Amino acid sequence: MESDNPWLSWSYVQNNWAVLVAAGLEHLYITVASLALGIVLAIPLTWVARRHAPWAPSLLSGSAILYTIPSLALISALWPLFGLTSLTVIVALALYALLILLRGALLGFDGVAADVVDAARGMGMSDREIMRSVEFPLALPAILSGLRVATVSTVGLVTVGALVGHGGFGTLILGGLNENFYHAKIFTATIACVALALILDFALRWLESGLTPWSRAAS
């Protein structure tokens, strides 16, 4: 009966608090590690795309192809390389985040007006100084916007890692499905996953407003 298997159960939360915290910490760790690896991959690709503009469409297309690979297939392909470890999930999610991060960075830099760069160059600034003091600050809002989208997307995708035993809240969701649809376990883990995504998005919005006050003033 439904009353014997409620969706919302405070007693489940109380009795499994330690399990929920452990799942949350794993979920957060995999999310942050995946985004960090995605950023490490996106930085050199952005540099190449900026230095060699004709390559940009190919780089975006290549990252888009990776994004279209089904998560189950990608994790299965990485499984023989990294085994049943969180690294399998981290690498897979980093590849998914790459498209969003790369596109955000390129949109940001492409949005910098050419006359602003020319003016900086006319003031005697070197290419490195222009990048650091002019282009990067102006591109930062778009870069951070891409990071926010990638973060929310990654939080949701972490749950797929339950297939290899490292899915954070996804492991609890899968466990609930295997336990004759244990509603409280499934619902609690799902709500916790959504809450984590909202918290991280809010934190990044706050960071964006602090790092780009001129953008907030303009809007």
pLDDT digits (tens, 9 = 90+) for 111-145: 888 888 888 888 888 878 888 888 888 889 999 99
- Higher pLDDT, residue 214 or 202: 202
Q: Decide if pLDDT at 185 tops 80.
A: yes
Domains of the chain, residue spans:
2-218
Q: Decide if pLDDT at 109 tops 80.
A: yes
pTM above 0.85, yes or no: yes
Q: CATH homologous superfamily of domain 2-218? A: MetI-like (1.10.3720.10)
Show the tokens assigned to 203: 């934190």
d(CA 9, CA 73): 35
The answer to whether the beta carbons of residues 38 and 94 sit under 8 Å apart is yes
pLDDT in tens, 13-52: 888 899 999 999 999 999 999 999 999 999 999 999 888 8
d(CA 44, CA 180): 47
d(CA 7, CA 181): 10
d(CA 117, CA 93): 35
Mean pLDDT of the chain: 88
> Tell me, what's the pLDDT at 1?
47
Confidence band for 216, pLDDT divided at 50, 70 and 90 = low
Confidence band for 2, pLDDT divided at 50, 70 and 90 = low
d(CA 40, CA 34): 10
Give exposure, 96-121, as e/b (b: 16+ Cβ within 10 Å): bbbbbbbbbbbebbeebeeeebeebe
List CB contacts of 142: < 8 A, sequence separation 6 or more: 104, 105, 107, 108, 111
Percent of the chain with pLDDT over 70: 96
